[in-house]
């Protein structure tokens, strides 16, 4: 009932806005002046347009805006963009979610990430979730965030939306370069630094150019790893399962204290070549490489309070993490006169490897199931080798005729190979058949290759019915085939020892994703639109659980899930281009919801639990209130909840029973997210100007799951930035997280090990960081 009331109010408001503008009550003008808010050219619909002219819910940031706001990572952009939420396990390990559609279940993300035209799929069977790469944003041309299903043009991975990172192409005319140097200090941590450089080299005027980009940066840690012995377990030294509580680790005997362990080192490079041998033909080659190393994860112990910024362990075992990413792409555009023919080919390889201490959680499991009440070094080693080749071939119409269209073919070949290993020699006798059957005490060893092939045909066409009305129809026909080959061994598997359990499970499906969009443009400064669109995610397969311990098991496979998205929106420019108001309201019906569940023995699996809904408004308001001051407000309010449960699950209550109740909120979706900002820019001479920006982002409460489902509190993060720009120089002073707020971002940090009732190690926000940034262009 509430959503209907909100929807009716929004519809009336948008119709009224259009009527008042056409009658001249609201004065608007498309005339550009020095005080007009800049419009950004985007290619969200595979052709050039502006944000205000594109009848979609879209946010775009230019390279200049990224610089002035100090947005150097994708997570920085996501935190200030309406409709996006994040689940961040660690730097470079972030799941992005839009419009209340999280990726906590299944084998695919709900938000697509593109670098230029190349889709970046997440690891399908990775124990670190649906994490996307987090590339450095230096020398990007722009960022586009498309909210809502983009299945027609962007395929299966874009059920909730799409994020596009558009790199700056080589310039075949002029030589140019840029450099950036950053230094800062983090509270409870140490010294941070970063260096980036770009150079553009025209080799042959108007024909050939090369663009080179490099970044090297280091962020110091701010979480202490503390080893204590003897390690306290429960108030009486005994530990059951759901009755187990952690002992008073903060008052235990300290054996070692390692300060600031979660440091981060990022090195990346990008090389691009543009070749224009004849008029109408452009060939772009790009290679990109990134290496990320972490000294530890940004996880703290909830039992001692997140503000303590510490993690206690019974053994001296450091966490280690290395992540590398390489991308190679070839894009060819050829003007055929009536249309542009585009071929986009890409191959990327993403490798992650880490070792994490699991001595405490392992003790809780072996204590309860095997009566072994001792802590042993039992590092959990995990590696993911993910790669994909993709090819898209499309035609995009040219000219200004009433009919505009895009049509094409898409193919991708994806593989994700995960390997896990967890052992302690003291566990050898726990194996079925005794120590001789598992002499190294392997608890879990797995080799898990996962393959997905996708094929698609798509077409999207718009027809301008009149000067004011335009209708757009789109459809994507898809087919996918997936296969999981598994080999598991260890005492926490079906065999109970090193005898491998092997098998293969496959799944496939096909279907259509339609889209209907109707837009009304009574003037050059107002667009009102309505859209109905469908999105989907491929299904997947589950690993078999250790039957002797778990007694039950999840399904061997689960079906695709899909959504129907209904939205209306408007985009308005007012007051001679000094004010923009972009707003929309949406309602989403989610069918066959894929959800991550946990067996009572802590073994995870995914299943289609039922249906869900998500709805709410999204708003972006920007106004130049006086010549030097711009105010902005961007936010969303999301209601996302489970509406029905599969009766088969209710009859066989496996998994987290808290998640099997209609009405429970969908996990990892903040109730609201609002960013307010004030920007100041004033010329102090013919050469120099001063700029300043103060922003505050409030994130509402949300639900998350460790062993249990919990409601986590909201939080507010404020940032400040002031700079002096003159000639080729731009120097900024900045402060992130001004109030030094330590807030929980996620408690779901055990995807790589075993969630247990007694242990919670949430990931938290970075403390206050203050520093200086210097930029130079030549």
Chain-centroid distance of CA 774 in Å reads 29
Residue 22 in this model has a pLDDT that exceeds 50: no
Task: Read off the pLDDT band of 33 (50, 70, 90).
Answer: very low
**Can you read off the two tokens belonging to residue 117?**
């035209």
Q: Which residues touch 565 (CB under 8 Å, ≥6 apart)? A: 99, 148, 149, 531, 532, 533, 534, 535, 586, 587, 588
Residues 720-746: tens digit of each pLDDT:
999 999 989 999 999 999 999 999 988
Residues 104-126: tens digit of each pLDDT:
777 778 888 899 999 987 655 55
Residue 639 in this model has a pLDDT that exceeds 70: yes
Of 48-62, 261-275, 358-372, least confident by mean pLDDT is 358-372
Residue 248 DSSP SS3: coil
Q: What residues are paired with 312 via a beta bridge? A: 226
- Look at phi and psi of residue 713 and say left if phi exceeds 0, alpha if psi is from -120 to 50, else beta: beta
Q: What is the pLDDT of residue 722?
A: 97
Cα separations (Å) of 430 from 230, 314, 358, 436, 546?
23, 21, 18, 10, 14
Q: What is the pLDDT of residue 4?
A: 44
Q: What residues are paired with 179 via a beta bridge? A: 197, 776
**In contact, 547 and 553? CB cutoff 8 Å:** yes
Task: Read off the pLDDT band of 25 (50, 70, 90).
Answer: very low
Residues 58-99: tens digit of each pLDDT:
999 888 888 888 888 888 888 878 878 777 777 777 778 899
> How many other CB atoms are found less than 10 A from the CB of residue 60?
20
Q: Which of 733, 734, 744 is nearest to 766 (CA)?
A: 744
Chain-centroid distance of CA 759 in Å reads 26
**In contact, 383 and 416? CB cutoff 8 Å:** no
Better-predicted residue by pLDDT, 54 or 606: 54
Of 28-42, 536-550, 616-630, least confident by mean pLDDT is 28-42
Mean pLDDT, all residues of the chain = 86
Cα separations (Å) of 697 from 79, 96, 111, 169, 672?
7, 17, 22, 32, 10
DSSP string, 14-75: HHHHHHHHHTTSS-------TTSPPP-EE-TTSS-EETTTS-S-EEEEEHHHHHHHT--SHH
Residue indicated by tokens 């008042």? 20
Query: Cα separation of 352 and 637, whole Å?
Result: 35
**In contact, 451 and 494? CB cutoff 8 Å:** no
Residues 277-298: tens digit of each pLDDT:
999 999 999 999 999 999 988 8
**In contact, 21 and 522? CB cutoff 8 Å:** yes
Across the range 17-25, mean pLDDT stands at: 38
Residues 642-660: tens digit of each pLDDT:
999 887 775 554 445 556 6
Residues 670-706: tens digit of each pLDDT:
999 999 999 999 999 999 999 999 999 999 999 887 8
Chain-centroid distance of CA 513 in Å reads 23
Residues 412-448: tens digit of each pLDDT:
999 989 899 999 999 999 899 999 999 999 998 999 8
Chain-centroid distance of CA 530 in Å reads 26
Residue 631 in this model has a pLDDT that exceeds 70: yes
Task: Read off the pLDDT band of 482 (50, 70, 90).
Answer: confident
Across the range 545-568, mean pLDDT stands at: 80
Residue 154 in this model has a pLDDT that exceeds 90: no
> How many other CB atoms are found less than 10 A from the CB of residue 52?
21
Q: What is the pLDDT of residue 509?
A: 82
Query: Cα separation of 439 and 429, whole Å?
Result: 8
Better-predicted residue by pLDDT, 368 or 457: 457
CA torsion sign for 420, 102, 712, 555 is negative
- Look at phi and psi of residue 647 and say left if phi exceeds 0, alpha if psi is from -120 to 50, else beta: alpha
Q: What percent of the chain has pLDDT over 90?
A: 53
Query: Cα separation of 60 and 57, whole Å?
Result: 10
Could you give all domains of the chain from N- to C-terminal order, each with its CATH number? 2-777 (2.40.170.20)
Residue indicated by tokens 């005339």? 31
Residue 149 in this model has a pLDDT that exceeds 80: yes
Pairing of strands 639-645, 688-699: unpaired
Q: What residues are paired with 682 via a beta bridge? A: 690
Query: Cα separation of 362 and 424, whole Å?
Result: 10
Q: What is the pLDDT of residue 16?
A: 38
Q: Which residues touch 740 (CB under 8 Å, ≥6 apart)? A: 187, 767, 768
Residue 521 in this model has a pLDDT that exceeds 90: yes
Q: How many residues does the chain have?
A: 778
Query: Cα separation of 385 and 351, whole Å?
Result: 5
Query: Cα separation of 239 and 245, whole Å?
Result: 7
Residue 27 in this model has a pLDDT that exceeds 90: no
Query: Cα separation of 179 and 138, whole Å?
Result: 10
Better-predicted residue by pLDDT, 217 or 757: 217
Q: What is the pLDDT of residue 30?
A: 35
Query: Cα separation of 150 and 112, whole Å?
Result: 9
Q: What is the pLDDT of residue 658?
A: 58
Q: What is the pLDDT of residue 307?
A: 94
Better-predicted residue by pLDDT, 30 or 667: 667
**In contact, 577 and 526? CB cutoff 8 Å:** no
């Amino acid at each position: 009932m509430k959503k209907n009331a909100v929807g009716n109010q929004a519809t009336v408001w948008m119709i009224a806005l259009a009527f008042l503008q056409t009658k001249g009550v609201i004065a608007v003008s498309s005339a550009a002046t020095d005080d007009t808010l800049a419009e950004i050219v985007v290619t969200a619909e595979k052709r050039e347009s502006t944000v205000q002219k594109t009848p979609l819910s879209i946010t775009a940031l230019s390279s200049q805006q990224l610089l002035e706001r100090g947005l150097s990572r994708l997570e920085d952009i996501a935190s200030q963009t309406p409709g996006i939420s994040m689940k961040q396990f660690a730097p470079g390990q972030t799941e992005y979610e839009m419009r209340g559609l999280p990726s906590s279940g299944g084998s695919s993300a709900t938000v697509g990430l593109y670098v230029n035209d190349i889709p970046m799929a997440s690891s399908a069977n990775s124990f670190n979730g649906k994490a996307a790469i987090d590339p450095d944003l230096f020398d990007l041309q722009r960022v586009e965030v498309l909210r809502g299903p983009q299945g027609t043009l962007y395929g299966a991975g874009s059920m909730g939306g799409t994020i596009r990172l558009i790199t700056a192409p080589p310039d075949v005319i002029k030589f140019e370069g840029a450099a950036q140097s950053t230094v800062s200090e983090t509270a409870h941590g140490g010294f941070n630094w970063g260096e980036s450089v770009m150079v553009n080299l025209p080799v042959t005027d108007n024909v050939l150019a090369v663009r080179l980009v490099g970044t090297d940066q280091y962020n110091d840690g701010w979480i202490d790893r503390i080893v204590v012995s003897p390690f306290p377990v429960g108030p009486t030294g005994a530990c059951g399962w759901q009755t187990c509580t952690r002992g008073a680790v903060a008052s235990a005997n300290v054996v070692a204290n390692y300060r600031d362990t979660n440091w981060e080192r990022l090195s990346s490079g990008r090389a691009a070549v543009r070749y224009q041998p004849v008029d109408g033909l452009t060939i772009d080659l790009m290679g990109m490489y990134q290496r990320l190393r972490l000294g530890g994860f940004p996880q703290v112990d909830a039992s001692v309070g997140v503000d303590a910024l510490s993690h206690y362990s019974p053994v001296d075992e450091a966490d280690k993490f290395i992540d590398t990413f390489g991308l190679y792409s070839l894009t060819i555009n050829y003007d055929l006169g009536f249309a542009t023919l585009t071929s986009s080919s890409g191959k990327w390889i993403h490798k992650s490897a880490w070792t994490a201490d699991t001595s405490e959680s392992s003790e809780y499991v072996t204590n309860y199931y095997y009566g072994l009440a001792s802590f042993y070094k039992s590092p959990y080693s995990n590696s993911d080798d993910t790669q994909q080749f993709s090819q898209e071939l499309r035609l995009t119409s040219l000219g200004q005729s009433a009919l505009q269209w895009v049509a094409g073919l898409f193919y991708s070949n994806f593989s994700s190979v995960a390997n896990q290993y967890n052992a302690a020699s003291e566990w050898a006798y726990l194996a079925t058949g005794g120590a001789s059957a598992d002499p190294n005490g392997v608890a879990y060893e797995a080799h898990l290759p996962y393959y997905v092939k996708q094929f698609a045909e798509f077409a999207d066409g718009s027809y301008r019915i009149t000067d004011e009305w335009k209708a757009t129809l789109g459809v994507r026909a898809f087919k996918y085939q997936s296969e999981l080959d598994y080999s598991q061994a260890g005492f926490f598997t079906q065999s109970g020892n090193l005898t491998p359990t092997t098998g293969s499970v496959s799944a496939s499906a096909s279907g259509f994703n339609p889209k209907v969009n109707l837009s009304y443009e009574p003037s050059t400064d107002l667009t009102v639109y309505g859209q109905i669109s469908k999105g989907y995610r491929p299904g997947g397969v589950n690993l078999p659980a250790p039957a002797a311990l778990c007694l039950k098991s999840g399904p061997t496979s689960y079906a695709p899930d899909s959504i129907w998205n209904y939205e209306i929106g408007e985009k308005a420019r007012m007051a001679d281009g000094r004010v923009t108001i972009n707003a929309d309201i949406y309602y989403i019906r989610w069918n066959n919801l894929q959800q991550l569940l946990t067996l009572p023995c802590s073994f995870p699996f995914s299943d289609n639990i039922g249906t869900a809904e998500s709805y709410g408004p999204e708003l972006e308001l920007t106004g130049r209130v006086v010549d030097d001051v711009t105010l902005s407000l961007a936010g969303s309010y999301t209601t996302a909840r489970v509406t029905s449960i599969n009766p088969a699950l209710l009859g066989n209550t496996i998994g987290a029973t808290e998640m099997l109740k209609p009405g429970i909120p969908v996990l990892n979706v903040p109730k609201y997210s609002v960013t307010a900002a004030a920007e100041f820019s004033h010329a102090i001479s013919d050469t120099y100007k001063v700029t300043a920006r103060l922003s505050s982002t409030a994130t509402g409460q949300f639900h998350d799951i460790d062993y249990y489902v919990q409601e986590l509190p909201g939080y507010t993060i404020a940032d400040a930035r002031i700079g002096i720009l003159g000639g080729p120089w731009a120097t900024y002073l900045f402060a992130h997280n001004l109030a030094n707020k330590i807030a929980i971002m996620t408690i779901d940090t055990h995807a790589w090990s075993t969630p247990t009732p007694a242990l919670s190690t949430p990931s938290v926000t970075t403390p206050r960081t203050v520093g200086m940034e210097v930029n130079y262009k030549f």
